[in-house]
Amino acid sequence: MAPTIAPVPKDLKKRFQTPRQEMPAQDPIARGKNFQEVTLGLEAEAAKLEAYRCIYCKEPECVQGCPVGIDIPGFLHEVEKGNFAEALGILKSTNLLPAICGRVCPQEEQCESLCKTGKSKGNRPVAIGRVERFLADWERAGGIAKPVEVAPPTGKKVAVVGSGPAGLACAADLAKLGHKVIVFEAFHKPGGVLVYGIPEFRLPKAIVAKEIANLEKMGVDIVCDFAVGLTATIEDLQKAFDAIFVATGAGLPYFMDLPGENLGGIYSANEYLTRVNLMGAFDPEHNDTPVVRGKNVVVVGGGNVAMDAARTALRLGAEKVRLVYRRSHDEMPAREEEIEHAEEEGIDFTLLTTPVRYLGDDKGRVVAVECRKMELGEPGPDGRRKPVEVAGSEHQFPADVVVVSIGNGPNPLVPRTTPGLETKKGKIVARDGSGRTSMKGVFAGGDIVLGAATVILAMGAGRQAAASIHEYLQTGTW
């Protein structure tokens, strides 16, 4: 959507002097003991003030920074005037999941990184994500829920495989266009990483549940406990559906193949977070799934997943949580806000350090991690300086739980069971922009195509695929 050009404001100075509205948050000590959401959201007045910090650039770079190109000045202009319903309309025409993206987008690298206000001297960018979240929360709190219009049935059926942000976004758009959509999910609950990975204290599950309920209201059927490739193959689905969208995510946990990595108490982040979030191990009064609650927890990695694991460990009662990362602070891929929150909560950042082996007791449980120090060497092909181990720098930390959070690969279930599907390094090959794969009628998008990426990119891919599926269903051309 082309960005709205609002009149260039005459009160630039006043706008620039308005301070960035701080996000109210739970007290760091209190929140380290509960699983409730850490940030509390802006009040309406604060949201309006924040929107007022926008200077409505003629060529708004923020929009270039948003992977789905939201009309940011457009919705900020309406917020500034207090027209929340209008603002929401603009936002939702591009972003189907604003309550989620407003919370989890790495804004500082995307929309906000290019914001003109943020480039003016001594100033910080407009907190676009916070305003986005405000609008979505305002709607959920009863603002207005404009009913979604659904086109008359087309008689076409589409299978969506995987119920993460890519699958949900694709399903929503296709349902609006009148197609019958069935979403297949292997887990017993839909939502993908949004429910099994990202913790409650960062993304309340009620928000995801609401989005899913909305989908169901639009006529989308969600079939859980159905693993495509096992319960039925893509080929089987092709017989019953006119098109298929594969959005199975990046659910293959990487380990480092270190000695002792199979000791008890050593988890992949996927397992640790799934036990706690999806299976509810944080609340043993109501859930049977156990998780080892360590006193000394070591988390390996520096991304969002590592921050989530570390902060989860803290909330499960750990006395000391140490995050071990092989590069320095500046290279950590996690969202800035998560790093700050983790630091405030007392997570120990042990940087330029890498584990080399794990030591166990006679019962096969981990008791310590042996690490080596790292130095940053020459920049690698990606421009980041490559860490190199410092010989003879071995040292140990006590650990009764270790969470390996070094990344995930593409989920192999569908590629392995679909011989006709072209893949590259395990990822499904999909044509840029359309999601078309090497198999007629089969589309793919999200982490299974991009590798572990972001919610907004997955959602964008789902929407793009929906558009090309719609085109394919109408024209039949591949």
Partner 1 sequence: SFELLEKRELAPKVNLYKVRAPQVARARKAGQFVIIRVCEGSERIPLTIADADPVAGTVTLVVQEVGSTTARMAQVKVGERFADLLGPLGAPTHVAKIGTVVCVGGGIGIAPVHPIAQALKAAGNRVIGVLAARNTGLLFFRDEMRKACDEVRVWTDDGSEGKKGLATDAIKEIQAEVGQIAEVVAIGPVPMMKFVSKLTKELGIKTQVSLNPVMVDGTGMCGGCRVSVDGKSKFVCVDGPEFDGHQVDFDELSRRQAIYKEDERRAMERLVKEVR
Ligand X SMILES: Cc1cc2nc3c(=O)[nH]c(=O)nc-3n(C[C@H](O)[C@H](O)[C@H](O)COP(=O)(O)OP(=O)(O)OC[C@H]3O[C@@H](n4cnc5c(N)ncnc54)[C@H](O)[C@@H]3O)c2cc1C
Note the residues at the interface with ligand SF4 (CB under 6 A). 54-57, 60-62, 66, 68, 70, 72-73, 95, 101-102, 105, 107, 110-111, 115-117, 126, 128-129, 132, 456
Shorter beta-carbon distance to ligand SF4: residue 69 or 280: 69
The answer to whether residues 282 and 316 touch, using CB atoms and an 8 Å cutoff, is yes
Binding site partner of 447, from ligand X, ligand SF4, partner 1, none, Cβ cut-off 5-8 A by kind: ligand X
Residue 368: both structure tokens together: 């310590």
Helix, strand, coil % in the chain, rounded to nearest 5? 35, 20, 45
Nearest-angstrom CA–CA distance, 404 and 412: 20
Nearest-angstrom CA–CA distance, 210 and 97: 11
The answer to whether residues 314 and 32 touch, using CB atoms and an 8 Å cutoff, is yes
Confirm or reject binding of residue 186 to partner 1 (CB under 8 A).
Answer: yes
Confirm or reject binding of residue 148 to ligand X (CB under 6 A).
Answer: no
The answer to whether residues 249 and 447 touch, using CB atoms and an 8 Å cutoff, is yes
Confirm or reject binding of residue 227 to ligand X (CB under 6 A).
Answer: yes
Minimum Å gap between C-beta 6 and ligand SF4 is: 8
Query: Total residues contacting partner 1 (rule CB under 8 A)?
Result: 41
330-389 residues near partner 1, rule: CB under 8 A: 363-365
The answer to whether residues 1 and 69 touch, using CB atoms and an 8 Å cutoff, is yes
Amino acid identity, position 34:
N
Residue 272: both structure tokens together: 């640790």
- Helix boundaries (H) for 288-442: 304-315, 336-344, 413-417
Nearest-angstrom CA–CA distance, 440 and 435: 11
Nearest-angstrom CA–CA distance, 380 and 62: 29
Binding site partner of 163, from partner 1, ligand SF4, ligand X, none, Cβ cut-off 5-8 A by kind: ligand X
Binding site partner of 12, from ligand X, ligand SF4, partner 1, none, Cβ cut-off 5-8 A by kind: none
Shorter beta-carbon distance to ligand X: residue 95 or 248: 248
Nearest-angstrom CA–CA distance, 260 and 136: 46
Binding site partner of 240, from ligand X, ligand SF4, partner 1, none, Cβ cut-off 5-8 A by kind: none
Q: How crowded is residue 152: how many other Cβ atoms within 10 Å of its Cβ? A: 6
Confirm or reject binding of residue 232 to ligand X (CB under 6 A).
Answer: no
Binding site partner of 458, from ligand X, partner 1, ligand SF4, none, Cβ cut-off 5-8 A by kind: ligand X
Confirm or reject binding of residue 251 to partner 1 (CB under 8 A).
Answer: yes
Shorter beta-carbon distance to partner 1: residue 255 or 388: 255
SS3 letters across 201-227: CCCCHHHHHHHHHHHHHCCCEEECCCC
Shorter beta-carbon distance to partner 1: residue 89 or 280: 280
Shorter beta-carbon distance to ligand SF4: residue 66 or 305: 66
Least Cα distance to 253 among 321, 300, 288 occurs for 300
Question: Where does this chain touch partner 1 (CB under 8 A) — which range of 43-51, 274-282, 319-327, 455-463?
Answer: 274-282
Concatenate the DSSP letters of all residues of 443-455 into one string: EE-THHHHSS--H
Q: Which of 41, 74, 102, 192 binds ligand X (CB under 6 A)?
A: 192
The answer to whether residues 75 and 3 touch, using CB atoms and an 8 Å cutoff, is no
Per the DSSP assignment, residues forming a β-bridge with 360 are 366
Confirm or reject binding of residue 253 to ligand X (CB under 6 A).
Answer: no
Minimum Å gap between C-beta 279 and ligand X is: 10
Residue 10: both structure tokens together: 């005459």
Shorter beta-carbon distance to ligand SF4: residue 115 or 461: 115
The answer to whether residues 83 and 138 touch, using CB atoms and an 8 Å cutoff, is no
Shorter beta-carbon distance to ligand SF4: residue 119 or 384: 119
151: left (phi over 0), alpha (psi -120 to 50) or beta: beta
Amino acid identity, position 57:
C
Minimum Å gap between C-beta 281 and ligand X is: 12
Nearest-angstrom CA–CA distance, 357 and 361: 14
Nearest-angstrom CA–CA distance, 255 and 258: 8
Amino acid identity, position 420:
G
Binding site partner of 66, from ligand X, ligand SF4, partner 1, none, Cβ cut-off 5-8 A by kind: ligand SF4
Minimum Å gap between C-beta 237 and partner 1 is: 12
Minimum Å gap between C-beta 47 and ligand X is: 21
Shorter beta-carbon distance to ligand SF4: residue 119 or 295: 119
Shorter beta-carbon distance to partner 1: residue 94 or 411: 411
Confirm or reject binding of residue 163 to ligand X (CB under 6 A).
Answer: yes
Binding site partner of 128, from ligand SF4, ligand X, partner 1, none, Cβ cut-off 5-8 A by kind: ligand SF4
Residues of this chain that interact with partner 1 (CB under 8 A) are: 186-188, 224-227, 230-232, 251-253, 255, 257, 261-262, 264-265, 267-268, 270-271, 274-275, 279-280, 284-290, 292, 363-365, 411-413
Residues of this chain that interact with ligand X (CB under 6 A) are: 104-105, 161-167, 184-187, 192-193, 197-198, 227-229, 247-249, 251, 273, 304-305, 308, 335, 411, 413-414, 446-447, 452-456, 458
